[in-house]
């Protein structure tokens, strides 16, 4: 929720004074970010910051959680309705709608230096706010690789590049450690339900990549995209070994599902709200998401 753009090299030898300066910079999250800074967002727009942003509005939970994780939470002045973590932070901040139903007047009135939006909300938020003279970055991770890229980008935008690099390095190390637990184990065919419509996940989505790293394999072919709506018959024909995202009772009530391997063996798992957030938000909680998937697909690996 998903590969950093770059890692900060550490020279072998520095003078004592310079080493102390660098250590202090690392602890504070400072970096070599220089302003004015221009980056290209997922809408292909050039986004320019003339100075380090001090007043940021996050319109996506994964952005909110990333800012907290890289030490930039003090810059937040408002968040979207769905940002619910960390609780101590978001409870004290104004809520300014969602990506699809933003309170444009409230956002503009807060006079943010930067608004972080979802690129899929371009016509609803990004373009309208940009037209009002506000600086808006539209972008969210869709793939596993992009999760790390977005963390790096947010680190750069907020002058927290060192912290972003440290977060990415730690996440990759923790994720690699979990992946080692399932190496050599058989792949478990998995149906992951995003929505009862039913929407699921392709292998190239960040959730699909996590399923693979957890020793599973999504039943969705890559040609259908990252988050496709499925023909229910595809699910029946695939006869998955494990289902995630719904209850066993819900699965049993669906036509033709009671005899599927996952349903008949009781291998249907409904994530807790916290697990669902980690699985659905391409951000710093990927480690929690991967651990949950391993527990469902290969529980013996965590014993």
Fold for domain 183-302? Rossmann fold (3.40.50)
For residue 120, what pLDDT is reported?
Answer: 67
Q: What's CA 48's distance to the chain center, in Å?
A: 24
| pLDDT tens, position by position, 111-140 | 999 999 987 655 567 888 888 899 999 998
Query: Which residue numbers in the chain have pLDDT < 70?
Result: 1-31, 120-124
Sign of the Cα torsion 77, 30, 150, 195 reads negative
User: Dihedral, CA atoms, 86, 89, 169, 166, nearest 10 degrees?
Assistant: -160
Question: For the chain, what are the domain ranges?
Answer: 30-169, 183-302
Pair type for strands 188-192 and 242-244:
parallel
Instruction: Round to the nearest angstrom and report the end-to-end CA distance of the chain.
Output: 25
Query: Taking a C-beta distance cutoff of 8 angstroms, is the pair 165, 190 a contact?
Result: no
Name the strands in the sheet holding 136-138, side by side, starting at the edge strand that comes first in the sequence. Answer: 76-79, 56-58, 114-117, 136-138
For residue 99, what pLDDT is reported?
Answer: 83
Cα gap 47→190, rounded to integer Å: 39
For residue 101, what pLDDT is reported?
Answer: 87
Residue 261 exposed, middle or buried by CB count within 10 Å (0-12, 13-18, 19+): middle
CATH node for 30-169:
3.40.50.1980
For residue 27, what pLDDT is reported?
Answer: 42
For residue 55, what pLDDT is reported?
Answer: 99
Cα–Cα distance list, 260 to 185, 229, 266, 302 (Å): 22, 20, 10, 26
pTM for the structure as a whole: 0.86
Cα–Cα distance list, 229 to 196, 200, 226 (Å): 9, 6, 10
For residue 300, what pLDDT is reported?
Answer: 97
- CA angle 301/149/184 to nearest 5° reads 20
For residue 122, what pLDDT is reported?
Answer: 56
For residue 84, what pLDDT is reported?
Answer: 96
For residue 167, what pLDDT is reported?
Answer: 99
158 contact partners, CB below 8 Å, separation of at least 6: 52, 53, 56, 67, 70, 72, 75
Residues pairing with 191 in the sheet: 243
| Intrachain domains 30-169 and 183-302 with the same fold | yes
């Amino acid at each position: 929720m998903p590969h950093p753009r770059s890692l900060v090299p550490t020279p072998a030898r520095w003078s004592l004074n310079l080493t102390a300066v660098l250590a202090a910079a690392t602890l504070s999250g400072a970096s070599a970010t220089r302003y004015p800074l221009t980056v290209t967002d997922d809408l292909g727009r050039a986004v320019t910051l003339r100075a380090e942003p001090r007043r940021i509005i996050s319109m996506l939970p994964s952005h909110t959680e990333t800012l907290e994780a890289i030490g930039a939470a003090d810059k937040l002045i408002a968040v979207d309705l769905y940002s619910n973590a960390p609780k101590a932070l978001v409870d004290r901040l104004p809520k300014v709608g969602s990506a699809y139903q933003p309170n444009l007047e409230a956002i503009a009135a807060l006079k943010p230096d930067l608004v972080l939006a979802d690129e899929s909300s371009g016509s609803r938020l990004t373009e309208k706010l940009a037209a009002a003279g506000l600086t808006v970055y539209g972008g969210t991770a869709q793939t596993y690789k992009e999760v790390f890229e977005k963390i790096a980008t947010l680190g750069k935008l907020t002058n927290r590049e060192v912290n972003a690099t440290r977060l990415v390095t730690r996440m990759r190390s923790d994720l690699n450690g979990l992946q080692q637990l399932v190496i050599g184990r058989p792949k478990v065919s998995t149906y992951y339900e995003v929505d009862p419509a039913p929407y699921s996940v392709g292998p190239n989505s960040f959730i699909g990549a996590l399923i693979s790293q957890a020793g599973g394999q999504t039943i969705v072919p890559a040609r259908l995209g990252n988050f496709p709506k499925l023909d229910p018959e595809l699910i029946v024909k695939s006869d998955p070994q494990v289902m995630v995202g719904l209850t066993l009772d819900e699965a049993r009530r669906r036509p033709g599902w009671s005899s599927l391997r996952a349903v008949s063996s009781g291998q249907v798992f409904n994530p807790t709200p916290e697990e669902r957030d980690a699985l659905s938000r391409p951000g710093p909680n990927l480690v929690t998401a991967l651990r949950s998937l391993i527990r469902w697909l290969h529980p013996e690996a965590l014993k």
